[in-house]
Structure 1
Amino acid sequence: MLQIQYFLSAPLGESAQPPASVNVTVQPRRRRLRLYLVGSEADTRSAIDSLHILGYAERFEWSRVIAMPENGLVIRPDTDDVLRYLQRYRSP
């Protein structure tokens, strides 16, 4: 928004007006949604493909394969399980 203030008389007979107030729009905080897939590499790829076909998420939005540590995270993975995740931001 362009705002012009005159310090002398207004040009061409315009009456002096106080400057318009500036409305600051506060954006609501976006909520983060994280989806995790844990399973074999083939099964996680298949789930990602299914979600892509349904139009939920593009394949490139998912993380690369992350090897699961032997002691697991909160869950105990089966042998050769991998982790893939997707992070989205949703409007409140």
Structure 2
Amino acid sequence: MSRFSVDGEPLGFTEGQTVAAALVAAGRVAWRTTRVGRRPRGVFCGIGVCFDCLVTIDGAAGQRACLVPARAGMTVTTQEDDDG
């Protein structure tokens, strides 16, 4: 199984999964909070229309996890206090 890191922890994924699919498969349903109310967000639409699943990938902030294919060795950082 291939792996990438999320907030410094390794996460396994299956080839063909998006970052969001790998996170959900690992039991993580929320990985971002809103600025107002710090409400948890994760994948919502799953097709890149909304911005609930934003993460930072390899230093690039604001990436929609539902659109980015998981790659071995990538670094994913969850985002806090971001309305997107």
Shorter-chain TM-score category?
under 0.3
TM-score of the superposition, structure 1-length normalised?
A: 0.20
Name whichever structure is richer in strand by fraction. Answer: 2
